Structure 1
Amino acid sequence: MRQSRQQTFTTIYNNLSYGGTLRRSSKGRGARPLSSKDPIHLVFKVNKFVVKRGLRSPRNFALMTALMKKYSAKFYVGVEQFSIQRDHVHILLRGSRRSRIQSFLRVVAGQFAQTLTDTFTKRREGASVWLYRPFTRVVKGYKGYQTVRNYIQLNEKEALGRPYSKTRLRGLSEEQLRELWT
């Protein structure tokens, strides 16, 4: 039986995302889709019970920023944009090879968790620092790229004090988008 056009598009879109809560469904249990040509939207979600002060505390913010800078240079991964929230991090990145992107994901998450919980000097047992596995989505097309960039910028502005809106990016005028980037 032949699939309709809409079902094919949905299947393609689902194959571009991985991690997060998708791991609970059967759709999210394949290989992580990564692209060396297209940008990747990456989200790390932290466990609030383990990281009490959140990622916006000065120590954790500086730690996460330093780790991203250090390991993006080491693995030749370009971090185009990032936003560190209280309980999650958004990163828009590009990499030249799949192995380098995977190494970046693994090392940044591991180094942050080890430094935060001080597992370099002592053994630690208990809840994990990360709530889910990192969520990644391959961003296809210019419109999708602009949407992700605006979304990450909006998250950063909200972390700095902009009031939260339920509609968020839906229906923002050109003037509001310009204000978002100033």
Structure 2
Amino acid sequence: MLLREDEIMKQRIFSGLDTNWKFRYCHGGTLRKSSKGRGARPLSTKDPIHLVFKINKAAVTKGLRHPRNFNLMNALMKKYARKFFVKIEQASVQTDHIHILIRGGRRSAMQSFFRVVAGQFAQCLTDTFTKGHEGERIWKHRPFTRVIRGFKPYRIVRDYIQLNELEALGRPYSKTRLRGLSEEQLRELWV
């Protein structure tokens, strides 16, 4: 039985397949500026999620690698990961952004984790507990999330986060850093 074209379009719209395939598992960040990133945040309880927080450099002058900010961010991530039952598989704190690879049990718990970690960091950094904050916004964009489907994309994201951490610790930066790495160089990332 062949379906007519208008029936196929209705089915595609109803099933959610009418979205742009490239951004189907992504949400937040700069995608919020376009219509592609304004839907519901895709989250998965089975697959890992790549989470990126990006700060406004004007609001945090010393950056996230400053010892006070670095320790604060790590303590908040650990504390709220335990509270919301989110497993942090890997994290890398850079001077202007944070990469986290997480897994969670419930959608509501993961959403609470994103909200509370970002909010608590901004409140502790600006000391809004005792006085109001009138300056720049701490976060540049909403948190970017991407559901990682499959082992190969998982390995790429895991290596990317590890490479970011090594670059924060002093490894020289290269624009083609992930495209030109051999298997031996990828193994060196984890030594």
TM-score range, shorter chain: over 0.9
Q: Report how far residue 11 of structure 1 moved.
A: 2.5
Larger Rg: 2
Residue from 171, 179, 191 that aligns with 1:170: 179
Between 80-89 and 125-134, report the one with greater CA deviation: 125-134
1:59 to 65, 68, 74: 68
Match of 1:23, as an amino acid? Answer: R
Q: List 4+ stretches of structure 1 deviating above 2 A.
A: 8-13
Alignment of 1:151-162 (within 5 A): 151-162=160-171
Partners of 2:170 and 2:64 in 1: CA distance: 15
Q: Which amino acid aligns with 2:81?
A: S
Report the 3-state secondary structure (helix = DSSP H, G, I; strand = E; otherwise coil) of the residue aligned with 2:20. helix
**Is 1:125 aligned to 2:148, yes or no?**
no
Contact 2:20–2:36 (8 Å) recurs in 1 = no
1:10 offset after TM fit, Å?
8.1
Aligned identity (percent) is 70
Name 1:110's counterpart in structure 2.
119
> Residue 126 of structure 1: CA displacement?
2.5
Q: Structure 1 174/47 Cα, relative in aligned 2: closer, same or farther at 3 Å?
A: same
More deviation, 162-171/40-49: 162-171
In the alignment of these two chains, the number of paired residues is 178
What RMSD, in angstroms, separates the aligned Cα atoms of the two structures? 1.5
Query: Structure 1 residue 78 and structure 2 residue 93: aligned?
Result: no
TM-score by length of 2: 0.90
Q: What residue ranges of structure 1 are gaps of 5+ in the alignment?
A: none
Q: TM-score, normalised by structure 1?
A: 0.94
Q: Does 1:92 align with 2:113?
A: no
Is 2:154 the partner of 1:145? yes
